[in-house]
Structure 1
């Protein structure tokens, strides 16, 4: 059955099998009491070609609702930078890695219904895996969410709730519904099982690079689910003695919505929430108040990495540059390349950027003029 969850802020523990989705004391997100040991490289030969090849590091067994997520290609962009094509996951984004974990957990807990909130990709992934698991699902999204993402959510049979306002208003609406009886809140932010799915991104890199990791991992950050998953995997591999050094984690935000980057620059552990953030084409990371802000800032600091911001023009130019190389990704998926291309802020002898979502989900970023 499910493992015990706990609050990293105050230590409150939640019994296994509970539908409780946040700390009842401080209302914060939960972590999972789970410290697996990865298998050595040679033992992976012949295993299934999906994220479930790392079964000993996953808190649930391979579920019936799997769609073969994971094992996405790694391709070079320059002599120093490789891109991992995570937009080739089944619902065309990296969120499948965590969504399958939440659907598998919900199947075990047997709720009356599942709800999720999202700026798009997490919602499409949760809707798909709930459809696969035959779970009733409602997805809350902010107004202005890309039409193709809404179409995808509906196509999977999920009920769609479009919330007037921004991403934060959407989260509040979903959290209110999550407190109703019989509801499983498939939150990619609050539920730690999601992070244990996204960490397989790094386990795959380690395997594909022959048992090592790059000098720098560059990751887009809104709620930080990919970065925090990466930090989990790095810690597991290092603790097991399978890597001798940890890569620097470099977090990228849109300059329009950058509460974590501002906190980093100020040397603070606390973010200042902008009540009226500017619009950004990088809708997937337009998060003004990430609940795991302290954890994200700590993970970047402890890795020796840094925060970076990119402008709307830089995002569009990076998206077009990737398309000219045969890789059409959504605006959010281009932010890491925007931070690294042409002598950008992130350098190093070996760097990996994720291309997180397919371009057909959003289209091209608007043209705001030349860089």
Structure 2
């Protein structure tokens, strides 16, 4: 039986194979999601087909790999559901102890998924901001790694793979317009980072327009953008929305998000609850069952005049995580 460091003869010399006795790679096969047409000019990237059924796997694998190398006593994350699920899954893969702080109103299906991966769930009374505050307080304890998809830049270096994959899938170019959901803005900021890298290396000759989408019920960034502000004047009023994953009243990276959209020549759009419901049903009847947050971009595209050139929207989370949106809330 060959040893971990196996020696072979090649062309009269000795070749040593790499030591493969270490821990397995953390990857669960995230990325390389399909790009499918919705209209003649609009395509959807099916990120709800990730291992934990949301785009958050792109960044979570980076956080878990960093945590594994640092060797903390425990990992803490805060989330409205999808990021926490992704961190829980990749911590399980890495053999790391994990706790996920979530708002008390989080979808039961998302809580079930987090717990199935072996993570503890800590239900926090109040909104998403209260959850983040509780997690940050717990993360101050010794031996804790705070796997924050909002504050840790490693997460953005994971989400930027969304744009790199589009560049590969489209034969070395990017679409004219990228429509992206924005709560904390981790996908948009990762995409903006990738666009600058591709442009800076001369791999694309133009930058796509970034169109950011928020739910009308909680849209602090859209309001600031259209008011010409460079940052938020304060947190937005928290109202119920089916798009729970982007219902962030005071995103910490607000100034970066606003700058990235403006620099691209883009804009912000908001979508109503009725538009979200209609978009979810429309996609389902096309064979794509996506959670309400994940359909926000398609809702925005359907409601607005068609943009020139090609457009790509992400379908970010699977409908199995929440069920079908109904008149009274989520199914």
| Structure 1 length-normalised TM | 0.81
Does residue 1:283 correspond to 2:256, yes or no?
Answer: no
- C-alpha separation between the residues in 1 aligned to 2:272 and 2:206? 32
Give 3-state SS (helix, strand or coil) of 2:241's partner: coil
Aligned-residue offset at 1:346: 5.9
Question: Which of 182, 189, 200 pairs up with 1:239?
Answer: 200
Does residue 1:256 correspond to 2:217, yes or no?
Answer: yes
- C-alpha separation between the residues in 1 aligned to 2:24 and 2:67? 11
Give 3-state SS (helix, strand or coil) of 1:197's partner: helix
Structure 2 partner of 1:366: 326
Which string of whole-angstrom CA distances, capped at 9 and with x for unpartnered residues, describes residues 127-174 of structure 1?
Answer: 000000000000000011011000000000001100000000000000
Give 3-state SS (helix, strand or coil) of 1:162's partner: strand
RMSD (Å), alpha carbons: 1.4
Question: Which of 315, 322, 327 pairs up with 1:355?
Answer: 315
Q: Structure 1 pair 229/266, CA: closer, same or farther in 2 (3 Å)?
A: same
Q: Structure 1 pair 170/80, CA: closer, same or farther in 2 (3 Å)?
A: same
Does the CA-based 8 Å contact 2:236-2:250 persist in structure 1?
no
Aligned-residue offset at 1:277: 1.5
Which blocks of at least 5 consecutive residues in structure 2 are unaligned?
1-22
Runs (4+) off by over 6 Å: none
Larger Rg: 2
Which string of whole-angstrom CA distances, capped at 9 and with x for unpartnered residues, describes residues 18-69 of structure 1?
Answer: xxxxxxxxxxxxxxxxxxxxxxxxxxxxxxxxxxxxxxxxxxxx97211010
Does the CA-based 8 Å contact 1:63-1:104 persist in structure 2?
no
Question: Which of 38, 55, 67 pairs up with 1:77?
Answer: 38
- C-alpha separation between the residues in 2 aligned to 1:196 and 1:235? 13
Aligned-residue offset at 1:366: 2.5
- C-alpha separation between the residues in 2 aligned to 1:245 and 1:275? 34
1:134-173 aligned at under 5 Å gives the runs 134-173=95-134
- C-alpha separation between the residues in 2 aligned to 1:206 and 1:276? 38
Does the CA-based 8 Å contact 1:339-1:346 persist in structure 2?
no
Number of residue pairs matched by the alignment: 307
Q: Structure 1 pair 346/169, CA: closer, same or farther in 2 (3 Å)?
A: farther
Question: Which of 344, 360, 366 pairs up with 2:304?
Answer: 344
Question: Which of 33, 58, 75 pairs up with 1:114?
Answer: 75
- C-alpha separation between the residues in 2 aligned to 1:345 and 1:256? 22
- C-alpha separation between the residues in 1 aligned to 2:308 and 2:87? 35
Question: Which of 184, 192, 198 pairs up with 1:223?
Answer: 184
Does residue 1:301 correspond to 2:262, yes or no?
Answer: yes
Question: Which of 258, 263, 271 pairs up with 2:232?
Answer: 271
Q: Structure 1 pair 345/112, CA: closer, same or farther in 2 (3 Å)?
A: farther
Structure 1 partner of 2:272: 311
- C-alpha separation between the residues in 1 aligned to 2:48 and 2:135? 26
Aligned-residue offset at 1:348: 2.5
Aligned-residue offset at 1:345: 5.1
Q: Structure 1 pair 63/202, CA: closer, same or farther in 2 (3 Å)?
A: farther
